[in-house]
Amino acid sequence: MNQAVNANLFTRLFDGLDDPSRLAIETHDGQRISYGDLIARAGQMANVLVARGVKPGDRVAAQTEKSVSGLVLYLATVRAGGVYLPLNTAYTLNELDYFIGDAEPTVVVCDPSKAEGIGALAAKVGAKVETLDASGKGSLTEAADKAETAFTTVPRAADDLAAILYTSGTTGRSKGAMLSHDNLASNSLTLIDFWRFTKDDVLIHALPIYHTHGLFVASNVTLFSRASMIFLPKLDPDLIINLMARATVLMGVPTFYTRLLQNPRLSKETTSHMRLFISGSAPLLADTHREWFARTGHAVLERYGMTETNMNTSNPYEGERVPGAVGFPLPGVSVRVTDPETAKELARDEIGMIEVKGPNVFKGYWRMPEKTRSEFRDDGFFITGDLGKIDSQGYVHIVGRGKDLVISGGFNVYPKEIESEIDAMPGVVESAVIGVPHADFGEGVTAVVVRQPGADVSEAGVLKGLDGRLAKFKMPKRVFVVDELPRNTMGKVQKNVLRDQYKDIYTK
């Protein structure tokens, strides 16, 4: 393959860099890494990976805390033609055993504290182990420090794999989504345009880098536009508000926004230097959107994507950012809503399965050809598993995951409809509606409601408030009032945890 057709994401990211001294990343503890440094470090690390046996197409798995070296590892893997496989830091050895066995990486990088346990798993597939700690140091950087910075980026075709990200797998086995160089590059370039990124942007990067949001959306978009990012290990509302004085963009999950709203320092003044607040990975409550606007004068821009598809839709940069909606299909992305049973396309405003097609959509699930086939339509649309609708103005709305649909007495009940009713009641922060086994109805509609501290919210009160507003078959059979809902690190409500917690309530 000659250089002219090299579609390696690394080449596309950094080719034509005119000023290597430009700042790319700064960290909370004062490191400053220029674009030139980043490329040089990626060269050193790519040399180490190749020395450890990584060949084009080989997987490099990483379970490490967030650090600049962790990001360099991603860039170095891609540069060497390898396939980057980031793993959630919360995964236990038992879970890692599956991922490492399934992906058969050539190299596994982990925190020094886990080297022994992970070493045993890596040995089963003949993988070499390197370490990287939370400060970005370990055997990998020790070796990289001694390696040459020069490295010829391995040419790759547009459809060659750049990364495999395992989906969170709340039902069944976690699946490895295969993402190509062009999937990642094309989506970032689209987003830069859509969100008006320029080299003057400074992104507050407080997301983890094992997930599509922090790794691809945040990092690739920043690097492609020659902007800079401030790397923070985690969400720290006080620190983020301080940084807003010199930053321009925040990308967050909804929890970021609810937590920041709890901080009395959040105001029009403290956010006046910012140009854009973006939210995704889980639904941003319409109330949070409104409250944010009232406090800061900024309308949060909500977008919708998933590991398998990168970003699909976004509220507009100019034009109305509608609370509770995820916006329009991005340029080049087709979105349609179909009847889950017949696969026929539905009319505007009708709720059904969201399907997407475009250069952003992944290449399939790693070593699961049948699963891959069953999730694509014959005309190439990917069946997202999300239920939603497109309204008369073309905005896409998400109603929930298909698997969250409750079927009670043979009737389909969309949890979102009931949640919206409950959320509008005084004293209610939010709610989650689930279906749990019920002897008569198959599934019983069940509401778990979070109340504001000290508010008078009760089962009887919620049921009374819903009476007459919902068809009988949609009425919750039980309502539980709690202090908070279980969420994962990306801010998603874990309905599987709730279903498990309440599974016996109608059958005991």
Indicate which single residue of 149, 168, 334, 494 sits in contact with ligand AMP (rule: CB under 6 A).
168
Q: How far is the CB of 301 from ligand AMP (least distance, A)?
A: 10
306 touching ligand AMP, by CB under 6 A? yes
Residue 390 is a binding residue for ligand AMP (CB under 6 A)? no
What does the alpha-carbon distance between residue 163 and residue 59 come to, in Å, rounded to a whole number? Answer: 8
In whole angstroms, the minimum distance from the beta carbon of 1 to ligand AMP comes to: 31
Tell me how far, at minimum, the Cβ of 87 lies from ligand AMP, in Å.
14
| Contact flag: residue 65 with ligand AMP (CB under 6 A) | no
Query: To which H or E segment does residue 18 belong?
Result: none
Smallest distance from ligand AMP to CB 78, Å: 20
The nearest distance, CB 400 to ligand AMP, in angstroms, is: 8
Binders in 205-224 for ligand AMP, by CB under 6 A? 212
Stretch that binds ligand AMP, among 297-305, 345-353, 413-421, 461-469 (CB under 6 A): 297-305
Start-to-end Cα distance in the chain: 65
Contact flag: residue 302 with ligand AMP (CB under 6 A): yes
Q: What's the min distance (Å) between Cβ of 125 and ligand AMP? A: 25
Enumerate the β-bridge partners of residue 107. 60, 128
Q: Is there binding between residue 420 and ligand AMP (CB under 6 A)?
A: no
Tell the burial category of 150 from Cβ atoms under 10 Å away from its Cβ (0-12, 13-18, 19+).
exposed
Q: Amino acid identity of 242?
A: N
**Binding residue for ligand AMP, selected from 88, 270, 281, 431, defined by CB under 6 A:** 281
CB 309 within 8 A of CB 384: yes
Element (H, E) at 415: helix 415-423
Taking CB under 6 A as the rule, does residue 31 contact ligand AMP? no
DSSP code string of 296-335: HSPPPEEEEEETTTEEEEE--SSS---TT--BEEPTT-EE
Please select the residue that binds ligand AMP; options are 167, 458, 494, 501, rule is CB under 6 A.
167
Contacts of residue 269, Cβ cutoff 8 Å, sequence gap at least 6: none
Position among 151, 224, 304, 362 found at the interface with ligand AMP (CB under 6 A)? 304
Span from 277-285, 404-412, 457-465, 500-508 in contact with ligand AMP (CB under 6 A): 277-285
Subset of 314-353 contacting ligand AMP (CB under 6 A):
326
Q: Tokens 């599509």, residue?
A: 212
The C-alpha atoms of residue 276 and residue 196 are separated, in whole angstroms, by 10
- DSSP helix/strand/coil, 248: coil
The nearest distance, CB 403 to ligand AMP, in angstroms, is 10
Q: Which amino acid is at 344?
A: K
Give phi and psi for 204, each to the nearest 5.
-85, 115
Three-class SS state of 66 = coil
Query: Which residue, 9 or 326, is less far from ligand AMP as judged by CB?
Result: 326
Q: What are phi and psi of 500, to 5 degrees?
A: -70, -45
11 vs 154: CA distance, rounded Å: 9
Calpha distance 183→162 (Å, rounded):
9
Supply the DSSP string of 204-229, one letter for each residue: EE-S-SSSHIIIIIIIIHHHHTT-EE
23 belongs to the binding site for ligand AMP (CB under 6 A): no
Closest distance of CB 313 from ligand AMP, Å: 8
Least gap, CB of 463 to ligand AMP (angstroms) = 27
Q: Which of 386, 419, 421, 430 binds ligand AMP (CB under 6 A)?
A: 386
Which range in 98-106, 112-120, 263-271, 300-308 contacts ligand AMP by CB under 6 A? 300-308
* Residue 307 engages ligand AMP in binding (rule: CB under 6 A): yes
How many residues bind ligand AMP, per CB under 6 A? 18
User: Of the candidates 86, 208, 283, 352, which one interacts with ligand AMP according to CB under 6 A?
Assistant: 283
- Integer Cα distance of 329 and 395 in angstroms: 8
Tell me if 280 contacts ligand AMP by CB under 6 A: yes
Cα separation, 266 vs 244, in Å, equals: 10
Footprint on this chain of ligand AMP (rule: CB under 6 A) = 167-168, 212, 280-283, 302, 304-307, 326, 384, 386, 398, 401, 490
